Structure 1
């Protein structure tokens, strides 16, 4: 069953990825910003469908205006899961830019890459985030800095909360919970030294994978001064962790 499913799905997914790369190279330069955002959202929705991943949304995602979505990080799927709700610019470590396929897609889809360990890296990433906010775009941030199996939440780095401390920018924690056939599962998790091909073998060779996106209450209100970035990070982590820890298999 696993071999048959993988053999059926993998070529179709590969063809869709190729279409995405061609779209970025040939269509994006002429599509305009709104056109690119619409294409990114549509492409992500179809990718998840082809991978057999269903999405369920709880809460009220910010649908208009600038927002920082602080999200726990489990899988390479996380980016496309958020894009289905609203086309999002993500902050990602520079290493992802060099990943085959995923890195190419990320580079062409308005990802903000940060070179960790460099003195001015956070400042440059912050300026790029402010530019997206000025365009009323959402920015997705994975403050853990790496992936986990999704059953707990690692410590958050607070530096990149700073650009969202402006009064007109919403900060919304988002908890992701992955399921396999109705039970909480680490099956889609992309952790450790696992290769993308190994992860795809597991994902495309099964059925019944779903992800729950829980959009939590905003931190503060537009008429309030936001607390320091470390406090913002702590608040976001605690809110997400309370959701991640419940209903575990």
Structure 2
């Protein structure tokens, strides 16, 4: 390919090189997760160690369990979770809120549903570099109203980490990371730049879309898509329903 790709607007558009359907499995105490990154078909995607879409109804949940050497990012799509750790930190995140926890040298905590009905969300694990693995644990909590948003031409983005559509997240990422929640209305198209040296993925929450190439096959909810090398991703919603997905990207420089 010579010059800029006229369809995508990128010199080297990222294409889908692997897709995996996240199938339900039990985790914790009666909770159900759809694991995409971290399952046999996709053991890791450096620096990402795991991605779960969790569905929990009380009394199920995630009782005391340890983490060490990485970060966990919990993004509530529906309902509310209360987090409590052995150091006395306690807090509740609700629909649209994010908790960015740096486990560092180690932490033992629990994550349990607060409300009746179904609690649903995403949890992403991000590896820490060797120099950061033994730092003190810390938290960054983002309320729904504090997550910056932008909207244009039928595309809405919530910027959890990184930058999109001229909007930047206040979250400090020890491992350089982009984490964006996109919603595309029917007929909308997205073009999102991604640093060329970073690995990247898409997780589809709702609807179906064309990713990477307008000639690709539509991909539906609960699939994770590993993106190949390039400088950006193009997405098209050719369906009659909303398309919602998260784009994650990260690297070490």
Q: What TM-score, normalized to structure 1?
A: 0.28
Larger relative contact order (Cα-Cα within 8 Å, sequence gap ≥ 6):
1
Greater share of residues in strand: 2
Q: What TM-score, normalized to structure 2?
A: 0.28
Greater share of residues in helix: 1
